[in-house]
Structure 1
């Protein structure tokens, strides 16, 4: 079994949990709370900015010009292409997207996730660690969207169904490229190194679950005091 396939297999139970958690179920039913939707958009806008920065950190770690070109294209997609999915949610909310995300949020779970990716980008020379930290993001969205489109409970009358339509195909190329990166970059890794990279991937999958859940509960920092 290819390394990338093994990672996906081991993460499946976490993805099942994500699918059955209230955020995705609310998307599926077309009744996701408006405040949770706006919170997600605000948090994801902050997340994607950092995701683009981590792509930039990957560029010096790859050798082929075609790989550099692909990473640059992905930065461009984050800046322009993925906004289409956000616009679907903004339409559901009934507000202008730019107005929604003008209010910034930086929740604990999102903070933890972003720092997890930065740590692997800065602390590990092998790009496999960084990619393992990043790869669950497109994979989770792809897997959830494709599953939703086969789910009889999907509310096709809701604008939110278009969100699943978008992610059911838009992540395909990125998932495929990340798979190839992970398989190639781990060929010479030791058993212990492969275990570390696997843990990195699974931890990010859990971070994906926490990200949806933090949006649903509108997570905040609990500093205490007055």
Structure 2
């Protein structure tokens, strides 16, 4: 069994929770209140800016020039593809300032999740970086595949589903899965245990991110 397959089995119940979360199903069937999606786009814009930085740290930690170039490319695509998508959403939702989404106060979950990514990246190896960021890639791809035939009847929701179910995004996910498997083949058992722990934590945060948006999470004080 490949390391990625082992991890996927480990988080199956967590990911099933994401698939059935009312935020995700609400996007798929069009029933999600638009204010929840608006809040999600704002917080996800903050998240993606930090996600790209973590990808860049991975580029710096790579041992070969090709991997450095590919991790840097992934950081670039986080802006050019996903962030640009959110900018389009922001204009429709009326949450941008001069074309830029401004998030002065990230939600507790958004801040905690990105801090988890930075902790894994700064303290660990390229393997830890990949374990931290892969649940975001991979889970979104599976959501896109799972709900590909959905017709929410809300154009902005349809665009979100279509983005993560397309072949180009799938190719990026597969590349990072293969990269993590290649790294794991050379890693010690202790390293793989650490990667597993990081991957599971990121998967939990993915679920919490839906909950954060669905409940419009705010600081209690």
TM over 0.5: yes
Q: Where do 5+ consecutive residues of structure 2 fail to align? A: none
Deviations 1:172-221 (A, max 9, x none): 12222221221122223332331221111111011011011101111111
Alignment size in residue pairs? 217
SS, match of residue 153 in structure 2: coil
Question: C-alpha displacement at 1:98, in angstroms?
Answer: 2.4
Deviations 1:110-155 (A, max 9, x none): 111111111111111x2111110000001010011101125xxx33
The residue number in structure 2 matching 1:25 is 25
The residue number in structure 2 matching 1:70 is 70
CA contact (8 A) 2:120 2:129 kept: yes
CA contact (8 A) 2:61 2:126 kept: yes
Q: 1:149 to 1:11 in 2, by over 3 A?
A: same
Q: Structure 2 CA distance, aligned partners of 1:85 and 1:8?
A: 28
SS, match of residue 164 in structure 1: helix
The residue number in structure 2 matching 1:129 is 128
The residue number in structure 2 matching 1:149 is 148
Alignment root-mean-square deviation, CA: 1.9
Question: C-alpha displacement at 1:89, in angstroms?
Answer: 4.3
Q: Structure 2 CA distance, aligned partners of 1:20 and 1:63?
A: 39
Q: Structure 2 CA distance, aligned partners of 1:162 and 1:102?
A: 22
Q: Which moved more, 1:47-56 or 1:73-82?
A: 73-82
Question: C-alpha displacement at 1:51, in angstroms?
Answer: 0.8
Q: Where do 5+ consecutive residues of structure 1 fail to align? A: none
Deviations 1:62-106 (A, max 9, x none): 122222222222222122211354256447xx4345248335441
SS, match of residue 149 in structure 1: coil
Q: 1:23 to 1:88 in 2, by over 3 A?
A: farther
